[in-house]
Amino acid sequence: MSTDSARYAVLIVSYNTASYVAKAVESVLRCATSSDFMIIVIDNASTEPDRELLRKINHSKVRIAELDQNGGFAVGYNAAARLAEETFKPEFLVVMNPDIEIVDRGSIETLIGCIREEGVVGAQPLIHSYRLPGSAVEQPAIRRIPDVLDLVISESVVLRYLFRKRFNKYLMQDAKPYGRNTRFFVPSGAFFVIRAQEFFEVGGFDEHTFLYAEELILGKKLERRNSQFTFEPTVTVRHYQGAATGFERWKPNRRMYRFRRDSQTYYVRKYMGGGQIQQSLLCAAMEFGYFVRVVAWLIRVVSRQVRSERGGSGLSG
C-alpha cells in the first residue's frame, strides 16, 4: 500500500515554546510527501506574548487551539488527539514534541509504511538528542516495561553501575543494533507514530500525570493488548532536548523532580499494584538521586568559578 495515501495528524503541544513549534511545523510541512495530513497545535495556557507568536503560524494544514489552563503533557496531547479525530479522522497519530525537527523528506510516511508492513501498533525512528552524549545510534530511546526495581535502579548512578546488566536490559541496550525486527512497548515521548484507533481504544495518555511517565503508562496499557511498536532505524529526527520542559542535563530542578516523582509513584500504584513500601522505596531512591545531582551541580559550579578566577589571575599577572 502506498504511503502517499497515509492519512495522519501530527500532534504538538506548546507551553511557551512558540519559536520551537514554528520550526517543528515547518519541518513537517517541508518533509511531508503525503498531502493527506493535518497538524494540530495545542497551546497549554502559555503567556500572551508566546500565544501571539503561535497565532502567526498561518497555514491551511495547521490548526491551533488554546486551553485555558495547563493540564500537562497528557491533557494537552489528548486534547490534540480528540480535535484531530473530530475534524480530520486520521488513521495515524504522530506524537511530536515542539523541540523535535524532522530532517528528511518522507520520514513520517516511511514510519507509517513500516507500521502497515509489520502489522504493529506504532513505530519510532532514531531520535538524536543534542544535549546527550553520543550519536543517535548510541542513545537509548526505547524501553521495556519497567518494574519497581528497574525504576529504583535508574535513579542512582551507583545502582546503575552495580546492576548495569539489568539497567541496560531495561533500556534495551541488549537489543542493539535496532532494526525493524526490534519490538518494544515503551516509545520515547518525544516522537512516535501510533494507530489512532488503538490510541483511543486504550484511553490515550493517562491524565492523572502532569509530566513524565506518560509513555510508560501508554506502553503498559498496550502491553495488556500485546500491541507492540517497531523500530525504524533508517529514519532520524533531531531533538533539542529540554527546550519543551526547561530541562538542563546537569542542573537540578526541584519542580521537575516533583513531577517525575508523582508520575512514577502513580504508575507504580495504579498500573503495577505497588503498595506503600514500593512507593516509599522509589521515592527514597529518587530523593537520593536528586541529592547526588545537587552535589554534582555544586561541584561543577565551584570548579568553574575556580578555573575562571585562576584564568583572571593569570591575565592580570
- Rounded to whole angstroms, the Cα distance separating 162 from 158 reads 6
Q: Which three cell numbers stand for residue 95?
A: 506524537
Residues of the chain with pLDDT under 50: 1-2
Distances (CA, A) of 202 to 13, 16, 252, 261: 20, 29, 34, 24
DSSP state of 305: H
Residue 1 is predicted with a pLDDT of 41
pLDDT tens across 171-189, in order? 998 888 887 779 999 999 9
- Going by C-beta distance under 8 Å and a sequence separation of 6 or more, which residues neighbour residue 261? 283, 286
Closest by CA position to 279, among listed 270, 290, 269: 269
Q: Find the distance separating the first CA and the last CA of the chain, reported in whole Å.
A: 73
Amino acid at 165: K
pLDDT, tens only, 108-146: 999 999 999 999 999 999 998 876 666 766 666 789 999
DSSP H or E stretch at residue 9: strand 8-14
Q: Could you tell me the sign of the dihedral formed by the alpha carbons of 70, 72, 78, 83, in that order?
A: positive
Q: Are strands 100-102 and 37-43 parallel, antiparallel or unpaired?
A: unpaired
How do beta strands 62-66 and 100-102 pair?
unpaired
As a whole number of angstroms, the distance between CA 41 and CA 65 comes to 6
Question: In 3-state terms, what secondary structure has residue 1?
Answer: coil
Residues 55 and 183: beta-carbon distance below 8 Å: no
Count of residues in the chain: 317
Q: Could you give all domains of the chain from N- to C-terminal order, each with its CATH number?
A: 3-142+178-243 (3.90.550.10)
Question: Which of 288, 278, 280 is closest to 146 using CA atoms?
Answer: 278
The pLDDT value recorded for residue 60 is 96
Q: How far apart are CA 42 and CA 251, in angstroms?
A: 28
Q: 48-55 and 18-31 helices cross at what angle (nearest 10)? A: 20
Q: Do 223 and 145 meet the contact criterion of CB atoms below 8 Å apart?
A: yes
| Measured distance CA(38)–CA(17) in Å, rounded | 20
